[in-house]
């Protein structure tokens, strides 16, 4: 009977050692996952705010270009087209400048459709994503409208300028810049069949100045991949802590057993 009790006690001690050795491993992994999720959520919220700031600055530059050209609006096209072309040439981000009178486009540095530019001016929007015409039909453009008294200017740039702002956030987060139902992200735009995955730790921010929205999120499975990678990095350290913890408990139990035997021998 004593042998059975001794075996049972040894088994309980072994299970205790294993359990105590796993405590720092399990708790360490839980803390790691919590810190990772907190980091990703915080990064998503901060990044969408910073992206709005960066895109606002890019649109501010288009606004400055429009302000420079606005005094030319309403004047005969032949009188000002040379000046408009010089302004386009001096601004690397600008593709074209177009003038409007009574909300009707009548002069442009390119052969873009004046009717479409007029429709944009009448839409009430200040900024829009537009599909390129003719030979640049595969390009996405950004139109910026600035109106004056009975006149106006539309500055057109390639949307690559805005994509460059999104590319600055190279940390696994997918940022999507949306103007109404048209949007752009680092590797595509709203003409693509599939929208990018942003299902994990989604966040969004709205531009009070220009009315667009930035949506951020990590692709499905991103958190699990990051957790596995972090787990591989810290697991050796956690296992070492677990072994040390188990060893300390084992030595404590061993000394207690020796003390009990010594006390029993003295009493005998």
Q: Which CATH superfamily, name and number, covers 59-161?
A: YNR034W-A-like (3.40.1840.10)
Percent of residues, the chain, with pLDDT higher than 90: 39
Judge whether 154 and 117 are in contact, CB under 8 Å: yes
Quote the tokens at residue 256.
Answer: 């207690």
DSSP symbols for 178-192: EETTEEEETTEETTS
Sign of CA dihedral 32, 33, 37, 40: positive
Best CA proximity match to 177, nearest among 210, 134, 155, 219: 210
User: What are the extents of the domains in the chain?
Assistant: 2-36+222-267, 59-161
pLDDT for residue 200: 85
The continuous run of DSSP H or E covering 35 comes out as: helix 2-69
Q: pLDDT tens for residues 169-193?
A: 767 889 999 998 889 988 888 888 8
The set of residues, in sequence order, having a beta carbon less than 8 Å from that of 248 and lying 6+ positions away, is none
The continuous run of DSSP H or E covering 203 comes out as: strand 200-206
- Band (pLDDT 50/70/90 cuts) for residue 208 is very high
SS3 202: strand
Q: How far apart are CA 215 and CA 199, in angstroms?
A: 11
Query: pTM (2 decimals)?
Result: 0.76
Q: pLDDT tens for residues 30-49?
A: 777 888 888 899 999 999 99
């Amino acid at each position: 009977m004593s042998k059975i009790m001794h075996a049972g006690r040894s088994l309980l001690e072994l299970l205790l050692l294993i359990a105590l050795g796993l405590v720092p491993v399990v708790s360490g992994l839980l803390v790691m996952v919590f810190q990772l999720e907190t980091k990703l959520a915080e990064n998503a919220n901060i990044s969408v705010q910073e992206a709005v700031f960066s895109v606002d600055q890019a649109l501010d530059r288009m606004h400055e270009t429009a302000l420079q050209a606005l005094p030319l609006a309403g004047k005969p096209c032949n009188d000002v087209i040379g000046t408009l072309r010089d302004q386009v040439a001096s601004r690397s981000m600008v593709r074209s400048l177009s003038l409007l009178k009574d909300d009707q486009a009548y002069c442009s540095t390119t052969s873009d459709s004046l009717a479409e530019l007029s429709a944009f001016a009448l839409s009430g929007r200040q900024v829009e994503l537009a599909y390129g015409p003719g030979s640049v039909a595969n390009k996405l453009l950004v139109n910026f409208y600035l109106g004056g008294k009975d006149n106006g200017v539309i500055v057109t740039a390639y949307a690559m300028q805005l994509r460059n702002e999104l590319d600055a956030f190279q940390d696994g987060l997918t940022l999507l810049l949306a103007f109404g139902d048209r949007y752009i992200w680092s590797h595509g735009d709203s003409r693509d069949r599939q929208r990018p995955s942003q299902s994990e730790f989604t966040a969004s921010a709205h531009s009070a100045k220009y009315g667009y929205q930035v949506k951020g999120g990590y692709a499905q499975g991103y958190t699990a991949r990051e957790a596995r990678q972090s787990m591989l990095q810290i697991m050796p350290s956690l296992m070492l802590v677990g072994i040390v913890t188990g060893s300390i408990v084992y030595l404590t139990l061993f000394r207690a057993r020796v003390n009990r035997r010594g006390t029993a021998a003295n009493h005998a």
